[in-house]
Structure 1
Amino acid sequence: MKFQGRSTRKRTGGRRRNFRKKKKHELGDQPTETRVGEPKIKTVDARGNTEKIRAITADTASVATDDGTVAAEIEDVEENPSNPNYVRRNIVTKGAIIQTSEGRARVTSRPGQDGQINAVLVE
């Protein structure tokens, strides 16, 4: 599948053919759909001399409360504005509303990009 790059169709509707293959920095990757479960992370090489830590599964979240930050147990994914199917599959992305041991919280980090789940209490 082609996710990045320019459109394969011209403004007139005609087909636009590739003039070269993708370069290394243009290659895309499938999104890491972080699920609720036994903690599992994966390290991938990123551009430059860096690495990204992808959370494959996670069971705790750092929840910001009035008293400070607390490590809370994730119980369930309640809402996910990015995709309603993610709620059924218990997939955590940025903006998802999760039920934790501290209460309902909204995820503020990108678990598939930085390997951890940070959240803020909703109520």
Structure 2
Amino acid sequence: MAIWQGSSLRKPTGARSRRNRNKRNAEFGRVAAETRIGDEVKKEIVVRGNGKKIRATVANKINVIDPKDNSSKSVEIKTVLDNSANSHFIRRNIVTKGAIVETELGQVRITSRPGQNGIVNGVLIE
């Protein structure tokens, strides 16, 4: 989800535009969850409309789906092998959507957003 940053400071004519209001509290961004590997820790945050999100700040298990027989297992995460979101996340073992992790079953691509819904799901890579 993109965070609203407001319009440009300049009009098409080049004149400086004035803001008609400040940002609302819901329009501010939050610090990224950056889910690490370790003993499981979850945090509940309140979002706009008094809804709730569960953030997984630390996770150690992943629900793996095997596409061959459509079975699912919960296994331990060993390490992060690849993360297209940020190359520095690999050595820091930070898990995001699209990251490839090493498990007992083999390499798994993460399909869920652990910082948004507090669960780590993935699909086994052949």
**% identical aligned pairs:** 44
2: distance between equivalents of 1:72 and 1:89? 20
Aligned counterpart in structure 2 of residue 93 of structure 1, from 92, 96, 100: 96
Q: Give the superposition deviation at 1:39.
A: 0.2
Question: Is the contact made by 1:8 and 1:17 (CA closer than 8 Å) also made in structure 2?
Answer: no
1: distance between equivalents of 2:37 and 2:118? 13
Aligned length in residues: 121
Question: Is the contact made by 1:36 and 1:59 (CA closer than 8 Å) also made in structure 2?
Answer: yes
1: distance between equivalents of 2:19 and 2:32? 24
Larger radius of gyration: 2
Q: What CA RMSD, in Å, does the superposition of the two structures yield over aligned residues?
A: 1.9
Who is 1:106 aligned against?
109
Normalising by structure 2, what TM-score?
0.85
Normalising by structure 1, what TM-score?
0.87
2: distance between equivalents of 1:19 and 1:109? 38
Q: Give the superposition deviation at 1:8.
A: 4.8
1: distance between equivalents of 2:14 and 2:79? 45
Structure 1 gap ranges (5+): none
Who is 2:4 aligned against?
4
Structure 2 gap ranges (5+): none
